Chains A and B, each alone.
Chain A
Amino acid sequence: MYKLMLATRYFFKRRINLLAMAAIALCVFIVVVVMSVMIGLVSDFKEKNHSYSGDCVIHSDSLVGFAYYEDFVSELEGEKFACGVSPVIDGFGLMRRPGYEDNIGLQIRGVDPVKHSAATGFGDTLYYHKDNPEKAFENIYEPNLPGSVIGVSIIYKSGSFGEYDHFPVPRDLKFEITCFPLNAKGGLARGGADPTSTKVFVNSDDTHSGLVKVDGGMIYLPFDEAQSMFEMGWPIKRINSIHIKFSKGVSADEGMAKVAAMWAKHVERNKDKTYANLFDNVSVEDWFRYRREIIAPMEKEQTMLTILFAMLGIITVFVIFVVFYMIIGHKTRDIGIMRSIGVSSWSVVSIFLLFAGMVGVVGSAIGASAGCSFLVKINDMEDWLFENYEWQLWNREIYAIGEIPHDIEFNVIAVIVACAIGAALLGAFVPAVQAGFKRPVEVLQVNQV
């Protein structure tokens, strides 16, 4: 009882406590804000990458692709665990607007818009055909030419906060796409003077995935058109990947295991066929592994930040240690008095740990509340800064984000607060033990002198 009473009195009577509380509050505030924003950015980035691909992707590392996919796609479509299956043609090419000289390099993806919307989040990225992706490639200008879905940043300039000012209907644009088709052996499919394949497509929609490389460097073409352009339809039909979405209730591990087993059987069944060697480059991966090259750097950045903040935590512990060393240094007379009336060393330690715990709890509560309030208002503050000083935290013309992530993750805050309280206790423990275990007379005599 007296321990709590003394700890409470020390807490309310010592002005130097404010320093320790301020140190804790400041650290908690910074860590809560930065970690929440960073976690928000990384999860948003992961979500967008997941939406770009299926839950599971069977893909070839080679642009040549792989054959004998049709049976397998049909087989997968008959399985209950898969609710979306989309064969995809992937390749690269050049795009030129007819009448213009300049070419830009593009990633070309051939998809069936309905199948691809069922297997990935493709449909949701469309602007004009979000609710009817089957019409994604239907252009309103040239019925005889195929439509195309182009990355939004290629044809629109984004606003200050990442918004795009769309026309009421797709812009009347034509794109001349040129690519280098490869044969099933990996050589150029077309001999002679012009090894390229060129075709004109009409803009029928645009895609806004939130991924810079997609929105700024990708064009979706109808599956058959892409297969034909890349000459992957003869002498054997080939594709580059199959994207699969698992039905609700099917776990990623369960779905992956089923797909991997089916694929192994499929390869075994077709191992003696002419183009079976193309299976050698094929992997079955979940979406995370499929996109790891893109996600990994951001995760590394998050890890680095976590390490940096761990270092900040060490500095906080040191600051608190110094503050408590001073506080306890000023309280040695009290410790001597307590020891002389029979208070045990550990009871003295526990009084100061209780006191430190209070400083930690109040400091981190202030820091966490301030951090949460800051997060709630972070976008308003950025708007204000932009309106008044034209300053943005992230230039939306460069970074594919809308508003700054500001979701408050209570689990993360709980961990940060627990660490801050732990830091306060750790910072107080050493000086408290040092003082508590001194001989009573030693402390009292020092004070008398």
Chain B
Amino acid sequence: MILKGVDLHKSYKMGQTKLEVLRGLDVSISEGEFVAIVGASGSGKSTLLHLLGALDKPNQGRVEFRGKALSSFGSGQLNGFRNKTVGFVFQFYHLLDELNILENTLLPAMAGSNSFGWVSRRKTAKESAILLLERMGLGGRLKHKAYQLSGGERQRVAIARALINDPELLLADEPTGNLDSETGNGILEALEEFHLAGQTIVMVTHDSRIADRADRVIRLVDGKIE
């Protein structure tokens, strides 16, 4: 078991009302699995993914990574967890406009090294980034800016960025949600390719046809697993 969520509760305050998104949810992810989390809009899919990736904290319950609760991590450890252990792919790509795609891909590697460490690591990291981008079919566009790419290309850069530090977990939040079906299919094929190479993937989607391509599907209804 690589990742486990135990009795996860999450609620948000919307003015005077309290919106309960997750209501005591248990989830576990095994190493090498490709898990799809599906559910209707507002069912808590993205919230669950954020809790699993330490982008947010549950109100109750805990997330364990290899048996260790994330709540026991200090801020430095949490940053390290987000940097090296998990890779995120978002629906809206979330690339930095000021950087070219090679720099965007390298960013987590740079953030994970201090200045001296980066000097020694720069060459290998750059080679890895170029290799990843080439695998994504973007080898000829390394110096292009994000706004010069199509949606599908941007998402492929986001996947490369998520994988640059060779994370144990790839968390994808509706990675095809903003793409047409053909481009989305390309993205899924890329993810499947990485999964076949041993990558653990947790993907949120509202499309059951996409979810069918995963090893396992977790269906959320009203903040609970169906």
> Is A341 an interface position by the 8 A CB rule?
yes
Asked if B111 and A338 sit within 8 Å, CB to CB, the answer is yes
Measured in the bound complex, the distance between the Cα atoms of B57 and A381 in whole Å is: 65
Of the listed stretches B28-36, B62-70, B92-100, name the one at the interface; the rest are far from the partner chain.
B92-100
- Give the shortest distance, in Å, between B82 (CB) and chain A (any CB): 4
Measured in the bound complex, the distance between the Cα atoms of B113 and A439 in whole Å is: 22
Known: A347-B111, A440-B55, A444-B55. A342 touches B82 (CB 8 A): yes
Residue of A2, A339, A444 near B107 (CB, 8 A) is A2
> Is A311 an interface position by the 8 A CB rule?
no
Interface string of A5-19 (1 = CB under 8 A from B): 110011001000000
Asked if A1 and B55 sit within 8 Å, CB to CB, the answer is no
Interface string of A43-57 (1 = CB under 8 A from B): 000000000000000
Interface string of B79-90 (1 = CB under 8 A from A): 111111000101
> Is B219 an interface position by the 8 A CB rule?
no
Asked if B96 and A5 sit within 8 Å, CB to CB, the answer is no
CB-defined contacts of A345 to chain B, threshold 8 Å: 75
Chain A residue with Cβ nearest B117: A1
Asked if A342 and B55 sit within 8 Å, CB to CB, the answer is no
> Is B186 an interface position by the 8 A CB rule?
no
Interface string of B101-128 (1 = CB under 8 A from A): 0010001101111010010000000000
CB-defined contacts of A9 to chain B, threshold 8 Å: 98-99
Known: A2-B107, A9-B99. A342 touches B50 (CB 8 A): no
Asked if A334 and B96 sit within 8 Å, CB to CB, the answer is yes
- Give the shortest distance, in Å, between A16 (CB) and chain B (any CB): 14
> Is A441 an interface position by the 8 A CB rule?
yes
> Is A343 an interface position by the 8 A CB rule?
yes
Asked if B98 and A6 sit within 8 Å, CB to CB, the answer is yes
> Is B56 an interface position by the 8 A CB rule?
yes
Measured in the bound complex, the distance between the Cα atoms of B168 and A53 in whole Å is: 84
CB-defined contacts of B115 to chain A, threshold 8 Å: 1
CB-defined contacts of B156 to chain A, threshold 8 Å: none
Chain B residue with Cβ nearest A6: B98
Residue of A334, A341, A442, A448 near B83 (CB, 8 A) is A341
Residue of B79, B91, B98, B99 near A342 (CB, 8 A) is B79
> Is B161 an interface position by the 8 A CB rule?
yes
Known: A1-B115, A439-B55, A441-B56. A341 touches B96 (CB 8 A): no
> Is A303 an interface position by the 8 A CB rule?
no
> Is A103 an interface position by the 8 A CB rule?
no
Measured in the bound complex, the distance between the Cα atoms of B106 and A6 in whole Å is: 12
Chain A residue with Cβ nearest B78: A342
> Is B76 an interface position by the 8 A CB rule?
yes
CB-defined contacts of A347 to chain B, threshold 8 Å: 111
Asked if A444 and B79 sit within 8 Å, CB to CB, the answer is no
Asked if A444 and B82 sit within 8 Å, CB to CB, the answer is no
> Is A37 an interface position by the 8 A CB rule?
no
- Give the shortest distance, in Å, between B114 (CB) and chain A (any CB): 9
- Give the shortest distance, in Å, between A62 (CB) and chain B (any CB): 74
> Is A337 an interface position by the 8 A CB rule?
yes
Known: A444-B94, A448-B92. A2 touches B110 (CB 8 A): yes
CB-defined contacts of B97 to chain A, threshold 8 Å: 13
Measured in the bound complex, the distance between the Cα atoms of B92 and A206 in whole Å is: 85
Asked if B55 and A5 sit within 8 Å, CB to CB, the answer is no
Residue of B76, B91, B107 near A341 (CB, 8 A) is B107
Asked if A10 and B94 sit within 8 Å, CB to CB, the answer is no
Chain B residue with Cβ nearest A448: B92
Asked if B90 and A444 sit within 8 Å, CB to CB, the answer is yes
Asked if A441 and B55 sit within 8 Å, CB to CB, the answer is yes
Measured in the bound complex, the distance between the Cα atoms of B49 and A342 in whole Å is: 16
CB-defined contacts of A339 to chain B, threshold 8 Å: 55, 82
CB-defined contacts of A441 to chain B, threshold 8 Å: 50, 55-56
CB-defined contacts of B81 to chain A, threshold 8 Å: 342
Asked if A448 and B91 sit within 8 Å, CB to CB, the answer is yes
Asked if B98 and A13 sit within 8 Å, CB to CB, the answer is yes
Asked if B99 and A341 sit within 8 Å, CB to CB, the answer is no
Known: A5-B103, A444-B90. A340 touches B98 (CB 8 A): no
Measured in the bound complex, the distance between the Cα atoms of B79 and A340 in whole Å is: 8
CB-defined contacts of A338 to chain B, threshold 8 Å: 107, 111
Asked if A342 and B83 sit within 8 Å, CB to CB, the answer is yes
- Give the shortest distance, in Å, between B49 (CB) and chain A (any CB): 10
Residue of A342, A442, A448 near B111 (CB, 8 A) is A342
Chain A residue with Cβ nearest B85: A342
Chain B residue with Cβ nearest A337: B94
Asked if B94 and A333 sit within 8 Å, CB to CB, the answer is yes
Asked if B76 and A344 sit within 8 Å, CB to CB, the answer is yes
- Give the shortest distance, in Å, between B204 (CB) and chain A (any CB): 13
Chain B residue with Cβ nearest A8: B98
Asked if B56 and A343 sit within 8 Å, CB to CB, the answer is no
Instruction: Indicate the member of B76, B96, B118 with the most A CB atoms within 10 Å.
Output: B96
> Is A405 an interface position by the 8 A CB rule?
no
Q: Which parts of A320-346 form the interface with B (CB within 8 Å)?
A: 333-334, 336-345
- Give the shortest distance, in Å, between A136 (CB) and chain B (any CB): 72
Chain B residue with Cβ nearest A334: B96
- Give the shortest distance, in Å, between B113 (CB) and chain A (any CB): 8
Asked if A342 and B112 sit within 8 Å, CB to CB, the answer is yes
Known: A9-B99, A334-B96. A341 touches B82 (CB 8 A): yes
CB-defined A-B contacts under 8 Å, sample of 28 = A1-B115, A2-B107, A2-B110, A2-B111, A5-B99, A6-B96, A6-B98, A9-B98, A333-B94, A337-B95, A337-B96, A338-B111, A339-B55, A340-B55, A340-B94, A341-B82, A341-B88, A341-B111, A341-B161, A342-B79, A342-B80, A344-B75, A344-B79, A345-B75, A439-B56, A440-B56, A440-B82, A444-B94
The 7 closest A-B pairs by CB, nearest first: A342-B83, A9-B98, A2-B110, A342-B82, A441-B56, A341-B108, A441-B55
Known: A9-B98, A342-B112, A447-B94. 5 other contacts (CB 8 A): A1-B110, A338-B107, A339-B55, A340-B55, A341-B108
- List residues of chain A with CB under 8 Å of any chain B CB: 1-2, 5-6, 9-10, 13, 333-334, 336-345, 347, 439-442, 444, 447-448
